Structure 1
Amino acid sequence: MSRPHDPPRGFFPFGNPFRMLSPKSSALSPWLHSLLNSFELLLAERFKKLIPKNKDDILTLSWMKLAMESLCETHNNVNTLITDLQLPVSDWEEKWVDVYLDISVKLLDLCNAFSSELTRLNQGDLYLKCVLHSLQSDSGEKYLQARSSLDCWRQHVNASNARIETCRSVLDCLAKSLSLPKVKNSAKGKVLMRAFYGVKVQTVYICSVFTAAWSDSTNDLFDLHVSEKPLWAKVFTDMQSVVNGEIRDLLSSGRRSTILKEVESVDASVEKLYPMIQDGVGIVEVETFKDYVMVLRMQAEKLSQGLDQLLEEVDSFFKMTLSGRDVLLCNLRSSDSLSGFVGEDLD
């Protein structure tokens, strides 16, 4: 559990809020080099894991879950780094506190948008359950009921989400300060600012991939040009090239439904079943029809489980960001109370 003096969870745009906390020299000691290298090598490994051996794994729900887990791990790592560097939040300048709170609001907005889309997609599972239930019935109306449910599923899964449409403007705001900062007078500040740079690159990029996946638009996919200095720079560029290339190929292929792979699999099964349901199943088609129904059931279960698991990861990131705000505000309140107490004592 967080304590009032714990550092906040999150990241700042770039500048040096620590220049009054350290000696004028900004040369990195072996200890600081070790801290920075460890952080950047871990981040490089996370980017490497997001390069799948098979391109078909990109934009599966399991890949998206891995990406969100990776993001949570990096934000946790920067918390540890802040603690190791011993840069108390109570000494940060007021303007950086305001900026932190503004950025955390934007991250919460993104999480809310992603959660709303995952919940919306998962609600479509009800239509698929109705289809499968109807097809198990002996009722003469079972095909009519199943066809109606499939029509509802198609409309539902292809509907747009207004909250996803707002994500691009939020990401644009976060990306405006996306540059490697120059810190002259604080070695610790230099380490932390470079770590923040990596956190922000990862956050903006992964959130842009999620937004593009749900908006079906390459306009929401970022091509980030990063500094060559960080140890993760090359592997990030390689990962971005592979992932963006696959997403653009998917979006240009003219798919009927979203480019999410599990949704696409369900949609393919629906396409096979729909004409059979509409025209009736002939005697020679009975076994084929049963196979299609069984495949649809398995794919629907996989989709629902994947959406639930990804929603849990997005919720974890939301809670992490919200907790960071609480820690920061609690820290500041404690600092203000201490200042007031000391002031009264001096009077």
Structure 2
Amino acid sequence: MAQHGGASLLASLGAVLNLHFSLHRGGNTNNVASKRHPVLQEFETRLRDRLETLKVAGEEKSFLSIDWLLQAMSIVLATHANVEALIPESQLSLSMHRDDKWVDEYLDDSAKLLDVCNILKEGISEVEHYQMLVQFALHNLDNREISGAELKYSRARNALAECKEAIKRKDTEYRQGFPKSKLENCSSMLRTMGDKLVTPKGEEAMKGNGFLNAIYGAKVTTIFLCGLLVTALACKPKRPLTNLSVASHYKWSPALVSLQQRVKEETDKRKTKGSIALLRELDSVDASVQRLHEILDRHLTEKAFPLAREQATELKMEVEALRKHSADLGYGLQPLEVQVNELFRMLIASRLALLDIISSART
């Protein structure tokens, strides 16, 4: 489905630019759409419904959970793919000139989004490495081949200490006096892109039966939802979430504003409670790691082996809690990475097709 969407977007861009240059050469500049095209209205309705559904899902699944972020990224991909529906070749009515800004802006923004994808992939890889350390600790606790509880607990404690250090390093990156992390730079870049968004106006807004309005909607959605993923992968981000200001006349505008507000409320609440990570599953794993490390360290310091029944029960409960939280975190990381890779692929393919069409049309 995603591949079909990507291909459709390329066909759309091709139709847009081929007609753009043929109209420019022919001098036909009077046939500008006087009202919104029905397909644009359908695009806006779909985007509104997806954003409203995402808000409901956040109430049910928890905002910035793995499940919720997977749904958010699926909206980014679907929105890019649906842009193509606005460009039925027989109904295009573009009146563009060679000095139009939208092509350059599209290329510039897509280049920045490619950088965002690369940083997101690195952020996901960091969490996957953290997951490996957690699994190593659990493996040591489960390993019956290790003779002696003390050795088993010692190895597990050391692995959990590495987990704590990994989270501490991520947290330290956001403290004053340290260089900005890639995720923080990425967040700043998305914020700047959001601040520079300009709503298409007048005749420009109706070019290609509203094509630039659709591009604008896809851009807003991508900046906002990718920004949430960046925030979720960071630890204790200093800056507040990106707050995009959009014109109120779009069907999807109220849904976006409402979703932004709800996510902000939830993240502010989490920060107030002292959550080290806004990605819910990562925060749960970190809390469980802290508790289990403390228990193991206490038993190893006291050298109270074998453990009394009550102590053994406490340890077993914490191990099972960590195993569950780790499984919840782990199952969504690979699909999330696949989605980021797919967005990267779509952006690359669109850029190449766009540049090729421009080059062919101008020769």
- 1:51-79 CA distance string (max 9 Å, x none): 13636610101111111110110011113
Q: Verify: 1:7 aligned to 2:12, yes or no.
A: yes
Distance in 2 (CA, whole Å) between partners of 1:88 and 1:146 is 66
In structure 1, the residue matched to 2:353 is: 327
Q: How many residues align?
A: 328
Residue type of the partner of 1:75? H
Residue pairs, 1:1-347, within 5 angstroms: 2=7, 6-8=11-13, 20=24, 23-24=29-30, 26-28=32-34, 32-52=36-56, 54=59, 57-83=62-88, 93=98, 96-137=102-143, 138-139=147-148, 140-160=150-170, 162-184=181-203, 187-189=206-208, 191-215=210-234, 216-217=236-237, 219-255=239-275, 257-280=276-299, 281-335=307-361, 339=363
Query: Is contact 1:8–1:328 with CA below 8 Å preserved after alignment?
Result: yes
- 1:211-240 CA distance string (max 9 Å, x none): 332333252512222211111111211111
In structure 2, the residue matched to 1:345 is: none
Query: Is contact 2:292–2:315 with CA below 8 Å preserved after alignment?
Result: yes
Distance in 2 (CA, whole Å) between partners of 1:35 and 1:323 is 24
Distance in 2 (CA, whole Å) between partners of 1:122 and 1:148 is 18
When the two structures are superposed, what TM-score results if normalisation uses the length of structure 1? Answer: 0.83
Residue type of the partner of 1:126? M
| Cα gap change, 1:186 to 1:267, in 2 (>3 Å) | closer
- 1:299-341 CA distance string (max 9 Å, x none): 21221121112111111111111111121123234435xx4xx
| Cα gap change, 1:190 to 1:158, in 2 (>3 Å) | farther
The Cα shift of 1:99 comes to 2.8
Distance in 2 (CA, whole Å) between partners of 1:213 and 1:88 is 42
SS of aligned partner of 2:244? coil
Range moving further from structure 2, 192-201 or 314-323:
192-201
| Cα gap change, 1:334 to 1:263, in 2 (>3 Å) | same
Gaps in structure 2 of 5+ consecutive residues: 15-19, 174-180, 300-306
The Cα shift of 1:197 comes to 2.2
- 1:36-65 CA distance string (max 9 Å, x none): 110100000111011136366101011111
Query: Is contact 1:181–1:193 with CA below 8 Å preserved after alignment?
Result: yes
Gaps in structure 1 of 5+ consecutive residues: 10-15, 340-347
SS of aligned partner of 2:169? coil
| Cα gap change, 1:169 to 1:275, in 2 (>3 Å) | closer
Distance in 1 (CA, whole Å) between partners of 2:315 and 2:139 is 15
Query: Is contact 2:191–2:242 with CA below 8 Å preserved after alignment?
Result: no
| Cα gap change, 1:226 to 1:96, in 2 (>3 Å) | closer
The Cα shift of 1:185 comes to 6.7
Distance in 1 (CA, whole Å) between partners of 2:199 and 2:278 is 33
| Cα gap change, 1:190 to 1:178, in 2 (>3 Å) | farther
SS of aligned partner of 1:207? helix
- 1:68-115 CA distance string (max 9 Å, x none): 1101100111133235576599x7736543332211110001111111
SS of aligned partner of 1:224? coil
- 1:128-166 CA distance string (max 9 Å, x none): 121112112333311111111001011113433721121
SS of aligned partner of 2:37? helix
Distance in 1 (CA, whole Å) between partners of 2:201 and 2:28 is 15
When the two structures are superposed, what TM-score results if normalisation uses the length of structure 2? Answer: 0.80
Query: Is contact 2:62–2:68 with CA below 8 Å preserved after alignment?
Result: yes
Relative contact order, higher structure (CA 8 A, sep 6+): 1
| Cα gap change, 1:230 to 1:85, in 2 (>3 Å) | farther
SS of aligned partner of 2:87? helix
